[in-house]
Amino acid sequence: MSTYQVVPMIYHSQEQIEAIVSLEQQCKQLDSVHLKADLDHISKKGGDHALLCYRDSELVGLLSWYASDAETGSINAIVHPQHRRQGVFRSLLKQAILDMTPQGIHQLSYRIPQGLSPGINTAESLGAVYDRAEYVMQLVSEISPMDELPEVTLRVAEAQDWDFMITCSSQAFGDSESWTREYFMQTNEPSRVTYIACQDEQPVGLVRVNSINATTAFIHNFCILPAHQGRKLGRAVLTILSNLLTEQGYTDIRLSVVTENERALNLYRSVGFEVNSEYHYYRGKLV
């Protein structure tokens, strides 16, 4: 009788990468929902942690995770439809928890594509509860001109901007400064660039870019100080940044937004972004 075997992914293993691509294709053919392994995040050195589950020599499941802050592990997983309800995901999760625990992680965030009922059922069976829904948006049309927008400049953040970054982000998103400081420390890596938005040489906002690969950039942590909101600064910053990333050679520019945030949705659409996919997030504890 064949059994399941869980092994860590080796980021430079072409054999494993090809098996993951094949698993994605099989799921796409058999599922109404397109499951994505986020291969760009897990196949590079220093990327997300990834575990693979094999039955005999066939890859039947994958779980990747990263520490989104000091206490939360964000999880993405794929299980072949013909191997669901057979303990594949739980085997992967059990090993992931063993890897997370020494890092002080005690909460989990499960990312589930909209419409994937088995994923929701599994999360709920593990005691997780619904947290939020987000759209992933992609720049799909020509960037709108900057007519009648305020003058804003973007510059790469420097060491002396650290305190401003924490203050701006915590005020804009409502998080504590201690949590925000820990988050920035956790995500301070070479693939991410932080830009400071300035007006009249004074910092008024920030935006970060995660370079996934040579052609894909993900915009995140985009915020304007509350005292400066409502003045079209956000649209000006996003327009400048989108033009900058396009000039740098990125052809796939994305960002995410909570589905209920109509104001942000309208802003992003005004610059040329459109909804590409939707994910639901469930929050739970290590089990």
HSE-CB at 53 with a 13 A cutoff on CA atoms is 25
Q: How many helices (H) and strands (E) does the chain have?
A: 8, 12
What are the phi and psi torsion angles at 230 (to 5°)?
A: 85, 15
**DSSP state at residue 126:** T
Give the model's pLDDT for residue 1.
45
Torsion of CA 34, 11, 212, 58, to 10 degrees: -10
β pairing state of 216-224 and 202-211: antiparallel
Give the model's pLDDT for residue 154.
96
Within 10 angstroms of residue 25's Cβ, the number of other Cβ atoms is: 10
- How far is it, in rounded angstroms, from Cα 118 to Cα 88? 13
Give the model's pLDDT for residue 146.
58
Length of the chain: 287
Sequence-ordered list of residues with C-beta below 8 angstroms from that of 195, at least 6 positions apart, any chain: 154, 155, 156, 157, 206, 207, 208, 209, 241
**Structure tokens of 135?**
């759209």
Distance separating the N- and C-terminal Cα atoms of the chain: 28
- How far is it, in rounded angstroms, from Cα 59 to Cα 83? 10
**DSSP state at residue 191:** T
User: Mean pLDDT of residues grouped by 10 in the chain (287 residues)?
Assistant: 82 87 87 77 80 93 88 92 90 94 92 87 93 94 71 94 96 93 87 94 96 92 94 92 94 93 91 92 88
